[in-house]
Amino acid sequence: MNICVVGTGYVGLVTGAVFADLGNEVLCVDNQPDKIAALQAGRMPIYEPGLEEMVARNVADGRLRFTTDLAAAVKRSHIVFITVATPAGSDGQTDLTAVEQVARGIGQAMERHTVIVNKSTVPVGTGEFVRDVIERHQAKPVPFDVVSNPEFLREGSAIEDTLRPDRIVIGAANQQVAMTLLELYAPLERPMIITDVPSAEMIKYASNAFLAAKISFVNAIANICEQAGADVGQVTKGMGLDARIGPAFLQAGLGFGGSCFPKDTESLVHTAAVLGYDFRLLKAVVVVNRERVALFVGTIRKTLDPLDDKILAVLGLAFKPNTDDIREAKSIEVIERLLALGARIRAYDPVAVANAKKVLPPTVIYCDSPYEAAAGADGLVLVTEWNEFKFLNLERVRGLMRRPVVFDGRNAWEPERMRRLGFEYYSIGRKPVSPA
C-alpha cells in the first residue's frame, strides 16, 4: 500500500519504518529540511534502539523515502498518517497548529479518495476539526475519511512496541474505512479494537491519565512511607502482586516527565473543563507530580547545606532510560534548582548530552563517564535509571568522591548495599542509611 507519514519524529519515523518493513511503500514527510536531509544521508535525528538498522534496510530496499514535499506525498498515497507534535498550549490546552497546517496541506493536495489518520495525540473532537479544515481547503471536492488511530509506543522501546502493541485502536465512522486500517495492521497479528472516532481519541487520554495517576498515587504513598518509616519498595511489591493492581507503573521516584504524560494529563483536565466537568482527581495527579522535584532537592539541600559551591554529579539527563529525549525531563528541573542554590553540576548521560546542552545553562559541565562526573563530588544525584548506573562499580565511585553521599531519585540501588559500601544514601520513600 502507498502510505505517507507526516511528521518524522519519534512516532512518525518509527511508524514509517515499521510500515515499510511490513512491505508497504512509505514516504515520510517533515517540514524541517535539515531533518529530511539528514535522513536522506542515513543519519538518525533521534536515538531509538533498532531504528537505524530498520530505516537503513528499508531505504536500501526502496520502500522507505523522505521528503519535505507534502503535496507530492499526498497525491501518491492511499493513507496519510498525521504524526506531528501536539505540544501544550496555554492553560494545558493542546496546540493543534501543526495538525491544522498539515490538514490544510492535505486538503489542497488531495486528488482522489484518501484516508487521513490522526496518530498524533489530539483532544476528543479533533477528528471533526481535521475533517472541517480539509473540506475548507480542498481544491476540488474529493471524498475522504478521517480516522483516529492513537499511538501507544514508548520511547526507548518504540520499535518493539510498534511491532507488538498491546492493542491497536481504530476509531472510524464506518466499517469500510476501518477495514483499510485493519488490513494495514493485519500482518502484526495483534488485538484490534474498532470504535467511533471520539471514543478512540478518548482511549488515548484516558490511558495516559490512568498511568499518570498510578505514578502519582505511588509517589504520594512514598511520601507517607518516608514519614512512617515504611519502605515503599516493599509496599509496592505487596500491592503489585494483587492481580487487580499489577506491578507496572508502581515505581516511586521523581514523577512522570517526557513529551506525553505531562501535556496529556493537563490537556485532559482542560478538555474536561471545556465540556463542563471539573476533573479534580486528575488535577491532584498533576499537583503531586509537580511537587516531586522540590521535595527531592529539599533533601539534597538539607543534607549538604549550604549548597554554595558544592559539586554535584548528576547521573542521567534523558526523561527516562534508552532515549535521548529530554522534553520535560526531571533532570532539567533538578539541575536548575540545584544551580539556583549555588551548586556546581557535573552531568553524565549515555546519549542525551547533545540535547541537554540545548536547554541547560552553560555552566553545567558534561562528563564522558559516571566516574568522571563523580570525581571530587560532594554528592551524587541519580535522576534517570539507565541500566549502566545500576551496574556501576560503586566502590570505585565512592573512592572518587569528596563526600560519599548519594541521592537516588529512582530507587536504583538497595539501601543496605549502599550502607555496606560506605555511602550515606537517600532514596524515595525509604529510610535514609549511613555508612556501616
Q: Are 105 and 183 in contact (CB under 8 A)?
A: no
SS3 of residue 170 by DSSP: strand
Residue 95 CB-density burial (10 A; 0-12 exposed, 13-18 middle, 19+ buried): middle
Q: Say if CB 213 and CB 282 are below 8 A apart.
A: yes
CB of 213 to ligand NAD, least distance (A): 18
C-alpha cell at 64: 522507505
Residue 187 grid coordinates: 500482518
**What's the Rg (C-alpha) of the chain?**
24
Q: Which residues are catalytic?
A: 260
**Which residue has 488531495 as its cell numbers?**
110
Q: Which residue lies nearer to ligand NAD by CB, 356 or 381?
A: 356
Question: Which CB, 7 or 404, lies closer to ligand NAD?
Answer: 7
Minimum Å gap between C-beta 203 and ligand NAD is 12
User: Strands 168-171 and 405-408, how do they pair?
Assistant: unpaired
CB of 241 to ligand NAD, least distance (A): 29
Q: Give the residue with the Cβ less far from ligand NAD, 77 or 83.
A: 83
Nearest-CB residue for ligand NAD: 9
Record the cell numbers describing residue 240, joined without a space. 503489585
CB nearer ligand NAD, residue 24 or residue 259? 259
**Which residues of the chain form contacts with ligand NAD (CB under 6 A)?**
6-12, 29-32, 35, 83-86, 98, 101-102, 120-121, 151, 153, 155, 259-260
Instruction: Write the burial class of residue 72 (CB in 10 Å: 0-12 exposed, 13-18 middle, 19+ buried).
Output: middle
Burial 325-339 (b: 16+ CB within 10 A, else e): bbbbbbbbbbbbbbb
The answer to whether 28 and 40 are in contact (CB under 8 A) is no
Residue 327 CB, nearest distance to ligand NAD (Å)? 8
Residue number, 48 or 226, with CB nearest to ligand NAD: 48
Nearest distance from residue 226's CB to ligand NAD, in Å?
31
